[in-house]
Amino acid sequence: MSVFCFSLKDIDLAEVGDFGIHVKMLAAPINPSDINMIQGTYPILPDLPAVGGNEGVGQVVKTGRSVTSLKTGDLVIPADAGLGTWRTEAVFAEETLLKMPPDIPLVCAATLSVNPCTAYRMLSDFEILKPGDSVIQNAANSGVGQAVIQIAAAKGIKTINVVRDRPNVLELMHRLKSLGADHVITEDMLRKLETKDLFKKIPKPVLALNGVGGKSATELLRHLQHKGTMVTYGGMSKQPVTVPVSALIFKDVKLCGFWMTQWKRDHSWNKEKVKDMITDLCNLIRMGQLTSPACQEVPLADYQAALEASMKPYVSAKQILLM
């Protein structure tokens, strides 16, 4: 199915009843997984017709009599994927929403539940990273990549950030460095021998974060420390990860995958752990150490243009639908 099967439609609003929460949506990004869901290539496929969008922020308009955790005026984000956030309003169940503090900027709140949470978990759950350790990542200009740079910088962890070459690559390098990136290099530079000099200045990375796959992932592995871990969280090149046998035998690298949705489902019983992650991320936002990704704000009515823009390469800006 093409993404152009989309259209704006009036749909009936459910009754709030005892347990429902009427939410006015304010802003929602277009992420690659939203596109994959529409294309039918994502592990979560809603029954059709469906409302698109897995992430966003809304404001509570009214709550059912038995709702205890939220009140009118609260800002809310989805607790899980599949909520359908590209809409102006809806009635949601209480357990599908998480409360956001009111002082978090709108676009930060709209883009918090997927990419920064993914970056946070990948930097916390796979290797014990100390200040001074280094992490290498590809797609460093992606929403996940920008969050990795900032969260790592806040922890004193060095980042080596790989991006695809483009005409304005120096501008992009400068932008990522202003977020706290220690090194930004292109995929071509990573393949060259001179890159070895880089690792005379900083330790070889103990963790590699792969959002691309294909040759890009193989290159990350080449620079990984002995017994280091590569976490694959995305496959933007649509190419499989090829692992040299030597990396497994002589370097004993560990290869893992990560899916934020699964993590949230696995931890749905542990609301405190989810709350702690959101609190830590909100604190970084308040301290100016975590900002929203570079983005372009687009009125919902212009969703077609926004969907098209979200699929273009070398854009380095996330499309945010404003309701």
Ligand X SMILES: NC(=O)c1ccc[n+]([C@@H]2O[C@H](COP(=O)([O-])OP(=O)(O)OC[C@H]3O[C@@H](n4cnc5c(N)ncnc54)[C@H](OP(=O)(O)O)[C@@H]3O)[C@@H](O)[C@H]2O)c1
- What residues line the site for ligand X (CB under 6 A)? 31-33, 114-115, 118, 139, 141-144, 164, 211-212, 233-237, 258-260, 293, 313-314, 316, 318
Which residues, at least 6 apart from 312, have a Cβ–Cβ distance to it below 8 Å?
A: none
**Which is closer to ligand X, CB of 63 or CB of 115?**
115
Find the shortest distance in angstroms from Cβ 241 to ligand X.
13
Cis peptide before 131 (omega within 30 of 0): no
- Concatenated DSSP letters of 10-32: --PPPP-TTTEEEEEEEEEE--H
Q: How many CA atoms lie within 13 A of 63 on its CB side?
A: 17
| Region at 183 (left for phi over 0; alpha for psi -120 to 50; beta for the rest) | beta
**Which is closer to ligand X, CB of 34 or CB of 127?**
34
**Which is closer to ligand X, CB of 115 or CB of 225?**
115
Find the shortest distance in angstroms from Cβ 239 to ligand X.
8
158 phi/psi in degrees, rounded to 5: -80, 145
With beta carbons less than 8 A apart as the criterion, state whether 120 and 109 touch: no
Report, as residue numbers or ranges, the catalytic residues.
42
As a whole number of angstroms, the distance between CA 242 and CA 218 comes to 6
Could you tell me which residues are beta bridge partners of residue 76? Answer: 58, 99
**Which is closer to ligand X, CB of 13 or CB of 45?**
45
Q: Is 72 exposed, middle or buried, given 0-12, 13-18 or 19+ CB atoms closer than 10 A?
A: exposed
Q: Is 166 exposed, middle or buried, given 0-12, 13-18 or 19+ CB atoms closer than 10 A?
A: middle
As a whole number of angstroms, the distance between CA 38 and CA 41 comes to 8
Q: Which two tokens stand for residue 234?
A: 């995305």
**Which is closer to ligand X, CB of 19 or CB of 259?**
259
Find the shortest distance in angstroms from Cβ 210 to ligand X.
9
**Which is closer to ligand X, CB of 22 or CB of 164?**
164
Q: Is 320 exposed, middle or buried, given 0-12, 13-18 or 19+ CB atoms closer than 10 A?
A: buried
With beta carbons less than 8 A apart as the criterion, state whether 200 and 176 touch: no
With beta carbons less than 8 A apart as the criterion, state whether 86 and 116 touch: no
